[in-house]
Each structure stands twice: as structure tokens, then as C-alpha cells.
């Protein structure tokens, strides 16, 4: 589906090292989404990377190959529109290993370590024997990237959908790397078009007031993890939603209050309507403070809510956020229930299975 850019606002304009954007889109067809769902964004590989890869493969680009579900196309078209060259997928490395008898990477972990942050050009420069269209036959399809939807259809309308994304850019091996989709997104202006598709996420949903024993919600986010909670709060505090349900808590973490307090004024408006907002800005004091520290500080208020069935949602980085939050939740269960660590793990597993704890971590 096509979507037109309504706005593409840099939220961290006074932060030199971080570019987080709020992207507003208008879709050509109604989009039947719920807060918590994802939007997939499709873009093509940049011509500069395609040209460099063609040169490294010793190809002109006019050779042809057959791409699954597409058919016969030129290599240039395949590399630009259909095959992943920005990331090195383990499946690609496995196939190349078999086809070209490479003996490196004894196991999957070694392969993942090698692939980390690299693109096809790195591989071709490390293994100059990899040339010709046979290499292209080993590449995985160019995948869309997923983004948590940051709006509520009932509030903004079924043709509008918002995202929050962080532009990826980093230096590795003396070359500047740009995230494929987020770099393309960052260059979009009002009126530009994008290819998108909805991907429902049934396991990250606000409580169903009929089916749930509690309608309290505890949202935990760091960085772009705030995205789905903008949609949750739009729904929760909508004027059309006069029945005030339970409590809504939001724990939000970033680096600096002055540079990266995303959606500050919007969140403060919801605070006026009852949102319990707790923030953790890790770099603002000598000792680092994270959202999990705030959860721990508020455990006397949170524990009774959890015992009554409050839903707890976590969105953001799997490594940086969920690992810390998980540790804190386990410590809370151990302390409050007098449980052993193993019993606490079982309780957390049960909460996750029952949907009381829901994750959107990446």
C-alpha cells in the first residue's frame, strides 16, 4: 500500500549524536490497525551500494538471474529491488559457505559475530573469491523493516498512521554505514510517498475490558520504544472514551531530559488527565539511572496492581531494555513473594504466557 508523508519531524534536534523522528503518514486505503500493531516499510537499496557490489562481484549488472517469486530480472535490478545487500543474513553466509567451500565460522555464533554490522561489500572484500551471479543466488530477499505504530486509528482516523524511528548510522572499518530504511525515511519530506503494509501484533494489546480482571496498565519504554504507548495513550485518554478505566503508568527512559525527552509536551498533557509518568534519563547524573531503577523504586505501588492482574508492557531494545526490566521484575517477585529465583522465573513465565506481561522488543 502507498502512504504519503504528512510530516517527518526530528524530535532530537538539539542532540548531535541521535536522530529520532516522528513520521506521520496518510495511506491511500483505510488501514484497519489497533494500537500495538506494526507497520512494515519497504525501500530499495541505494544505487551507490548496488554499484559497489556489482564492481566487487565483477559483474556489469546486465547479466540475468531468477529471483524467487519475481522471475527473471537483471542482476542490477535484483540487487536494487529484491535482494538484501545491506545486512549479512546467517542464511546467506550458510549458503555461501556451502557453495564456495568457505571454512570460516565454525558455528552460528561465530557467523553472527562476523555478520554484526557488516554488509555484502565487507564480505566481498574479505573473500575476493566470491564473484559472479552465483553469489547473488545465495542472497536472502530484501526484507521490509518493522515499526511499532504510534497512533490510534479511532483518534487520528483510519487513513493516518504515525511511526517513531531512530536513524541508524555508524562507522565501521573506516566506512560510514547507513541504515537502509531509516536513512531513506530521514530524507522524506511532506508529500513524498512510501510503500508500507500492516502487520498485526496480537500479543501486544490493551486489556480487553470484558475479559480482563484488571484494566490497569504499566507501560515501560526506552527510546523509540515509546512508539506503541503513544497509540495506547491516545486510545486511553481519548475524549470519546469517557469511562475512565484503571490506572495508566508509563516509565520512559532516554539519555538526557534536555535533548531526548520524546513527546514531552504530549505526555505532560496526559499527566494532567491521570497518566502516572516516571522518567529515567541515564546521562543526567553521575550515577546512571534506567527505567528498571524507577520500576524498582515504585514497586510498593506496582506490586498490588500486578497482583490484581495489571498488564505490563515493555517496548524497546531487547538487550538494553528487556534484560534490565526482566531482572528487576524477577527481583520484585523474589522480594514480594518470598520466592526463590526459580519460582520467580516460573511466575514471570506464567505472566508472559497468560499475556499479563507483553513484549515488543527488538
Ligand X SMILES: Cc1cc2nc3c(=O)[nH]c(=O)nc-3n(C[C@H](O)[C@H](O)[C@H](O)COP(=O)(O)OP(=O)(O)OC[C@H]3O[C@@H](n4cnc5c(N)ncnc54)[C@H](O)[C@@H]3O)c2cc1C
Residues lying near ligand X in the complex (CB under 6 A): 38, 86-87, 116-117, 145-148, 164-166, 168, 170, 172, 179-182, 224, 227, 362
Radius of gyration of the chain from its Cα atoms, rounded to whole angstroms: 23
Instruction: Give the nearer residue to ligand X in terms of CB position, either 13 or 66.
Output: 13
The position carrying cell 504466557 is 353
Residue ranges with strand state E in 257-331: 276-281, 311-316
The neighbouring-strand residues paired with 149 are 163
Q: How far is CA 159 from CA 6, 31, 41, 139, 155, in A?
A: 11, 6, 16, 35, 11
Contacts of 259 (CB under 8 A, 6+ apart): 12, 14, 15, 18
User: Of all residues in this chain, which one has the CB nearest to ligand X in the complex?
Assistant: 179
Query: How far apart are CB 309 and ligand X at their closest, in Å?
Result: 26
Instruction: Give the nearer residue to ligand X in terms of CB position, either 125 or 199.
Output: 199
Query: How far apart are CB 315 and ligand X at their closest, in Å?
Result: 8
Instruction: Give the nearer residue to ligand X in terms of CB position, either 194 or 310.
Output: 194
Query: How far apart are CB 240 and ligand X at their closest, in Å?
Result: 25
Instruction: Give the nearer residue to ligand X in terms of CB position, either 235 or 332.
Output: 235
Instruction: Give the nearer residue to ligand X in terms of CB position, either 138 or 181.
Output: 181
Instruction: Give the nearer residue to ligand X in terms of CB position, either 168 or 339.
Output: 168
Cell of 251: 516509565
What angle (nearest 5°) sits at the alpha carbon of residue 48, between those of residues 42 and 52? 115
The neighbouring-strand residues paired with 38 are 148, 199
Query: How far apart are CB 202 and ligand X at their closest, in Å?
Result: 13
What angle (nearest 5°) sits at the alpha carbon of residue 80, between those of residues 74 and 81? 90
Q: With contact defined as beta carbons under 8 Å apart, do 49 and 121 qualify?
A: yes
Query: How far apart are CB 347 and ligand X at their closest, in Å?
Result: 25
Cell of 160: 493516518
Query: How far apart are CB 145 and ligand X at their closest, in Å?
Result: 4
Cell of 22: 516522528
330's enclosing H/E stretch is helix 323-337
Instruction: Give the nearer residue to ligand X in terms of CB position, either 233 or 332.
Output: 233
DSSP 141: B
Instruction: Give the nearer residue to ligand X in terms of CB position, either 105 or 146.
Output: 146
Cell of 223: 527510546
Query: How far apart are CB 5 and ligand X at their closest, in Å?
Result: 16
Cβ neighbours, 10 Å, residue 172: 12
Query: How far apart are CB 357 and ligand X at their closest, in Å?
Result: 17
Amino acid at each position: 500500500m502507498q502512504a504519503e508523508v504528512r510530516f517527518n519531524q526530528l524530535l532530537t534536534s538539539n542532540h548531535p549524536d541521535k536522530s529520532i523522528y516522528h513520521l506521520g503518514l496518510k495511506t491511500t486505503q483505510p488501514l484497519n490497525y489497533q494500537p500495538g500493531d506494526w507497520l512494515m516499510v519497504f525501500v530499495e537499496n541505494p544505487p551507490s551500494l548496488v554499484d559497489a557490489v556489482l564492481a566487487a562481484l565483477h559483474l556489469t549488472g546486465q547479466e540475468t538471474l531468477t529471483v524467487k517469486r519475481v522471475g527473471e530480472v537483471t542482476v542490477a535490478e535484483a540487487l536494487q529491488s529484491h535482494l538484501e545487500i545491506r545486512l549479512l543474513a546467517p542464511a546467506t553466509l550458510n549458503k555461501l559457505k556451502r557453495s564456495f567451500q568457505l571454512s570460516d565460522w565454525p558455528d552460528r555464533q561465530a557467523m553472527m559475530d562476523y555478520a554484526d554490522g557488516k554488509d555484502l561489500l565487507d564480505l566481498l572484500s574479505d573473500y575476493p573469491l566470491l564473484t559472479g551471479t552465483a553469489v547473488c543466488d545465495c542472497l536472502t530477499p530484501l526484507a521490509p523493516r518493522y515499526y511499532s505504530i504510534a497512533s490510534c486509528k479511532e483518534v487520528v482516523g483510519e487513513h493516518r498512521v504515525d511511526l517513531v524511528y531512530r536513524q541508524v548510522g555508524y562507522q565501521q572499518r573506516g566506512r560510514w554505514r547507513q541504515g537502509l530504511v531509516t536513512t531513506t525515511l530521514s530524507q522524506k519530506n511532506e508529500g513524498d510517498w512510501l510503500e508500507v503494509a500492516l502487520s498485526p501484533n496480537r500479543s501486544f494489546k490493551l486489556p480487553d475490558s470484558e475479559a480482563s480482571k484488571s484494566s490497569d496498565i504499566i507501560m515501560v519504554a526506552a527510546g523509540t520504544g515509546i512508539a506503541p504507548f503513544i497509540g495506547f495513550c491516545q486510545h486511553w485518554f481519548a475524549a470519546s472514551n469517557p469511562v475512565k478505566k484503571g490506572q495508566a503508568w508509563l516509565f520512559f527512559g532516554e539519555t538526557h531530559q534536555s535533548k531526548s525527552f520524546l513527546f514531552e509536551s504530549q505526555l505532560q498533557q496526559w499527566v494532567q488527565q491521570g497518566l502516572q509518568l516516571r522518567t529515567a534519563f541515564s546521562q543526567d547524573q553521575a550515577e546512571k539511572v534506567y527505567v528498571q531503577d524507577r520500576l524498582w523504586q515504585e514497586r510498593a505501588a506496582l506490586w498490588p496492581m500486578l497482583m490484581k492482574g495489571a498488564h505490563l508492557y515493555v517496548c524497546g531494545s531487547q538487550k538494553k531494555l528487556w534484560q534490565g526490566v526482566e531482572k528487576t521484575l524477577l527481583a520484585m517477585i523474589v522480594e514480594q513473594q518470598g520466592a526463590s529465583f526459580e519460582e520467580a522465573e516460573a511466575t514471570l513465565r506464567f505472566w508472559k504466557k497468560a499475556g499479563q506481561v507483553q513484549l515488543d522488543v527488538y
